[in-house]
Amino acid sequence: MEHPPTPLSRRTVITKLGLGVAGGSAAMFTAGSGATASASDANDPNRGRSGARRGAAETANAAIPSAAGVSYRSYTYGDFHTYAGAPVSVVANFGAYSTDPFVVGLDLPQDAHVVELALWAGATTGVDIRRTNLGEFAWTTVAQATAGSGAGIVFASAPVSPPIPVDNSQHAYGVEVYAHTAATFLTTVRVGYVALGPFHPINPVRVYDSRDATTVPAPLLGGKTRTVSVANASPAFGGQLDVVPPGAQAVTYNLTVTSTVGSGYVGVYPVGGTFSASAINWFASGQTLANAATVALGGDRQVVLQAGGSGSTHVAIDITGYYL
């Protein structure tokens, strides 16, 4: 489902912060004064979504499946500016070329969680979501996708795990398209997000422990997955029902590994999702380590634990809050 821009518009990001980063140096968010559109571009039959032009090749790729419960915001090349005002060459049905990176403000709802980043662009072109504290000049890349090899327009999609929570009151966000070749070639960037409801913090409640003697205690082995419910407290810790109530879309949690063997990592993702990044790593036997994160929920308030590496570990999950 495509959603219209929120009140935190590109203008808000550009005027409030005023600058981005290219290659580690400050650069203004400015429209390319030398930008030109060809006569054939005016006849592009795919222009028009929210006033922006949409390339025919991106239309051909629009059949890429959408995930249930995920909303999408698309930014076409007509939404982007160059950093330093480098000339932009617009080609009908193919997008835009520039020797300067493209940038646009990321205007998503407060408390949305970004779960996917995709682009239609020239081969080896990449896209970042960047975040900075309001009033500061240093940007941090928080998500990234890069188009692979191919001719013409290439589609690339990357899951964002753990999801990136959007906090418009504390941060400004931008989307930067860059290239590993002489010219940036851009058609469309798509951002998938889960628009979560209010956050409900709770005192930590243990909902899963692989050492729990009331179930079947077993460590998680490298290369294996385990589906666990976060709905109710672990039987060994009171068994409270609906710690995470029905309808919750995501949870915040502390993940603990203990009694580790060898080295490895554990990733956490929703049932129906895919593994993309570890939530915690260990490097030796006998360690106890913890890390906090956020994860969307799948199934009946379930997540998947996936272990990697050659070792094994016991795992515990404490819920600290949930989004309805």
Q: Is-above-0.85 flag for pTM?
A: no
Is 241 domain-assigned? yes
46 and 133 assigned to the same domain: yes
Give the per-residue pLDDT at 182: 65
H helix and E strand count, the chain? 3, 25
163 and 244 assigned to the same domain: no
94 and 126 assigned to the same domain: yes
3-state secondary structure of 216: coil
Tracing tokens 């239609």 back to the chain, one arrives at 120
Of 195, 225, 254, the last residue of a domain is 195
The string of pLDDT tens digits covering residues 182-228 is: 677 888 888 988 877 778 899 999 999 999 877 777 899 999 999 99
Is 54 domain-assigned? yes
148 and 227 assigned to the same domain: no
Is 273 domain-assigned? yes
Is 2 domain-assigned? no
Q: Residue 89's domain is classified under what CATH number?
A: 2.60.120.260
Is 4 domain-assigned? no
Contact 157, 73 (CB under 8 A): no
Of 195, 220, 244, the last residue of a domain is 195
173 and 215 assigned to the same domain: no
178 and 204 assigned to the same domain: no
The string of pLDDT tens digits covering residues 194-206 is: 877 778 899 999 9
48 and 182 assigned to the same domain: yes
> Cα(193)–Cα(173) distance, rounded to whole angstroms?
14
248 and 166 assigned to the same domain: no
Q: Which domain holds residue 248?
A: 199-323
Q: Per the structure, how many domains does the chain have?
A: 2
3-state secondary structure of 246: coil
DSSP classification of residue 238: T
279 and 308 assigned to the same domain: yes
Of 145, 179, 195, the last residue of a domain is 195
Q: Could you tell me the two tokens for 150? A: 């191919």
88 and 221 assigned to the same domain: no
110 and 154 assigned to the same domain: yes
108 and 218 assigned to the same domain: no
pLDDT at 265 over 90: yes
The string of pLDDT tens digits covering residues 90-111 is: 776 667 888 888 899 998 888 7
List, in order, residues 6 or more apart from 255 with CB less than 8 Å away.
266, 268, 279, 280, 290, 291, 292, 293, 315, 316, 317
